[in-house]
Amino acid sequence: MKKEYWIVIIVYIAMQLSSLVGLPAMMFGFKSLGISQSLAVPVWLIVSFSIALLIILFILRKEMNSPHFEKRGSSSFGSSVMWAIVGVFLAYFAQIFAALIERLLGVEMGSENTQNILRIIETMPAAIIVTSIIGPILEEIVFRKIIFGSLHKRFNFFISALVSSVIFAAAHMEFQHILLYSAMGFTFAFLYVKTKHILVPIFAHVTMNTLVVLVQTVYKDDLERLQREAEALQNFIGGFL
C-alpha cells in the first residue's frame, strides 16, 4: 500500500477519535460563551469531517491530477452514469435482503447509529451535509478506493470485498448489524470494480444516505400516517376474516 494511503487511513482514524478530546473542549467553550451545548455535537461533526476531507483530498491531489487517474480499463461516461443510478437500487436491495436475513436470525430491526444521526440533524439541519455527502465520500475513499483497491491488487474480488466490507461494517460500531453493513460494502465494492470510477459508488452512497435522511425527517409524519392507515385497513379487513 502506498505511503499516502496509510496517511489517509491515519487521518480518518484520527478524525473518528478526535471527538474524545475535541467534543468536551467544544462543549466547555460553548458553555463559557453561553451557547447551547447541544450544538457542540453537530458543530464538531461538521468541523472534524470537513477538515478530514480537505486533508485527504490534499494528500491525494497528485494522484487525482494524474492523467491516468482511474482511466485504465474504466467504463465510459454513459456506462458509469448508468451504474451509478442502478447502484442506488442495488444498494437498497442489498440492504433489504441483509435486513431480512438478520430478522430471521433474531436481530432486532432499527439502527442506533441512524437514530443518533437523525437526532443530530434535528438539532442542526446543516449536519445533513456530513451524513449525506462528506461522510459517504470519506468512506468510499477509505474503504473502497484504498482498502478494497489495495486488496484487489493481490486477491480476487470476493476476498477483497469481504475483508474491506467487514472492516467497513466494524467501523460503524454496530456489530449486531454487521451483515447489513457488509452487504452495503459488497455493493459499493462491486460498483467500483465494475466501473473503476470511485465517483460511481460515491454517487450511490451519497444518494442512498440522502434519501434515508429525507424519508426519516422531512417525510416522517407522512410515513407515520401511511403506517397508521395501513394498520387500520389491516384491522378492518381482519374483522371480516
pTM, to two decimals: 0.83
> Cβ distance 223 to 215 under 8 Å?
yes
Give the three cell numbers for residue 163. 475483508
Question: 4, 70, 172, 174: which is the annotated catalytic residue?
Answer: 172
What are the pLDDT digits (tens) for 41-96? 899 999 999 999 999 999 998 888 776 566 666 677 888 889 999 999 999 899 88
Question: 139, 140, 177, 205: which is the annotated catalytic residue?
Answer: 139
Q: What is the pLDDT of residue 150?
A: 93
State CA 25 to chain mean position distance. Answer: 27
Active site residue 172: yes
Q: Check pLDDT > 90 for residue 223.
A: no
User: Comparing C-alpha atoms, which of 131, 121, 160 is closest to residue 144?
Assistant: 160
Domain boundaries of the chain, sorted by first residue: 71-238
Q: What value does the mean pLDDT take over residues 2-23?
A: 92
Measured distance CA(54)–CA(33) in Å, rounded: 28
Could you give the C-alpha distances from 136 to 100, 103, 121, 171, 215, in angstroms and in order? 24, 26, 16, 13, 18
Q: How confident is the model at residue 37 (pLDDT cuts 50, 70, 90)?
A: confident
Q: Check pLDDT > 70 for residue 6.
A: yes
